[in-house]
Amino acid sequence: MERIDGKKISSQIKEEIAQEVEQLKEDGGKIPHLAAIIVGHDGASETYVGHKEKACQQVGFNSTVVRFEDDIAEDTLLRKVDELNNNTDIDGIIVQLPLPKHIAEQKVIEAIEPRKDVDGFHPINIGRMVIGLPSYVSATPAGIVELIKRYNIETSGKDVVVIGRSNIVGKPISILLSQKSESGNATVTLTHSRTKNLKEIVSRADIVIVALGKAEFLTADMVKKGAVIIDVGITRVKSDKTKSGWKLLGDVKFDEVSKKASYITPVPGGVGPMTIVSLLQNTLKSAKGEIYSRI
């Protein structure tokens, strides 16, 4: 069994991005600029945005964080998105989710200019991804594909089971792995809460991707020996064994499943660290005009 070390791979990618940004500076090119909007004071959102700011600094990006109180009017937020859309120095825009209940998240997502939608949530980017056109792929699926590439895990002709059908992870990763591409050509089964005989379906899989948000859902009796296990889930549970009083669990019962797996991602330290570097990669692509012509 080999652990898939997302922390190590993410550090390598940051170094690669930093070198590319340094070359852009030397050549007089555009320095990538990421803008993040955060509404309210949700602890997890604050932490995530803080990590993005730090990551931008590490690789030489410019970054801007726009903060609003949670009682902001939807129209005010949309005007700020439009302002960033029209700011030619901004290459990427993200709006940190979740938003307060009085704001329509999908409306805000669709207000972002697709050329700056480095989160990859806009329907235009999703549509382009589905039909195989260049697009910004959302961070977690992009991070999973990157891990598969860097560990030389074969996907062509393999049976893949994805557990969870969210628009952010499950659906896009199922499409990416089934496409005719270097890290695709797999036969993918997308399962969910209404799937019958889930254990039987999963037990035939060469690669299992679990994105449910249910702690330790996948157990050893559900997977075959030698399977590749990608754990996307992260749940915070109380623990009397840690100083903080909490610990993080994935969707996979790691201790027992790891004994049967050929490759497995731990939680934390697996898929998680790849999300921010995927966002950086998309912002760099935007600055260089690799997906769309640069604005």
Among 78, 113, 148, the domain boundary falls at: 113
Q: Where are the beta strands (DSSP E) in the chain?
A: 2-3, 33-39, 62-68, 92-95, 159-163, 187-191, 207-210, 228-231, 235-238, 246-249, 263-264
Catalytic residues: 52, 96, 119
Integer angstrom CA distances of residue 172 from 177, 196, 259 = 9, 22, 29
Residue 201 domain flag: yes
Task: Say which residue the tokens 């993410």 belong to.
Answer: 10
In this structure, are strands 263-264 and 228-231 parallel, antiparallel, or unpaired? parallel
Tell me the pLDDT of the chain (295 aa) as tens digits: 999 999 999 999 999 999 999 999 999 999 999 999 999 988 888 888 899 999 999 999 999 999 999 999 999 999 999 999 999 999 999 999 999 999 999 999 999 999 999 999 999 999 999 999 999 999 999 999 999 999 999 999 999 999 999 999 999 999 999 999 999 999 999 999 899 999 999 999 999 999 999 999 999 999 999 999 999 998 888 777 777 777 889 999 999 999 999 999 999 999 999 999 999 999 999 999 999 865 4
pLDDT at 294: 52
158 and 52 belong to one structural domain: no
Same domain, 159 and 99: no
Query: What is the rounded distance in angstroms from the CA atom of residue 83 to the CA atom of residue 10?
Result: 32
Question: Helices 123-130 and 170-178, interaxial angle, to 10°?
Answer: 30
CA distance 212 to 199: 15
d(CA 216, CA 251) in angstroms, rounded, equals 4
- Which of 113, 128, 148 corresponds to the end of one domain? 113
Instruction: Tell me, yes or no, whether 78 and 191 share the same domain.
Output: no
Q: How far is the C-alpha of 269 from the C-alpha of 150, rounded, in Å?
A: 15
Of 191, 189, 219, the C-alpha closest to 206 is 189
- Indicate if 109 and 73 belong to the same structural domain: yes
Task: Read off the CATH number of the domain in which 230 is found.
Answer: 3.40.50.720
3-class DSSP state for residue 167?
coil
Split into its structural domains, the chain has a count of 2
What is the residue range of 224's domain? 139-272
Q: Which two tokens mark 209? A: 């991707």
CA distance linking residue 139 with residue 277, whole number of Å:
8
- Whether cis (ω within 30° of 0) applies to the bond prior to 273 is no
Same domain? For 82 and 147 the reply is no
Residues 143 and 266 in one domain: yes
Strands, DSSP E only, in 69-138? 92-95
CATH number of the domain residue 65 falls in: 3.40.50.10860
Structural domain ending residue among the three candidates 95, 113, 131: 113
133 domain residue, yes or no: no
Residue type, 236: R
Whether 118 maps to a domain, the answer reads no
**Residue 108 placed within a domain:** yes
* Model pLDDT, residue 295: 44
Q: Are residues 182 and 104 in the same domain?
A: no
Strands 235-238 and 246-249: antiparallel
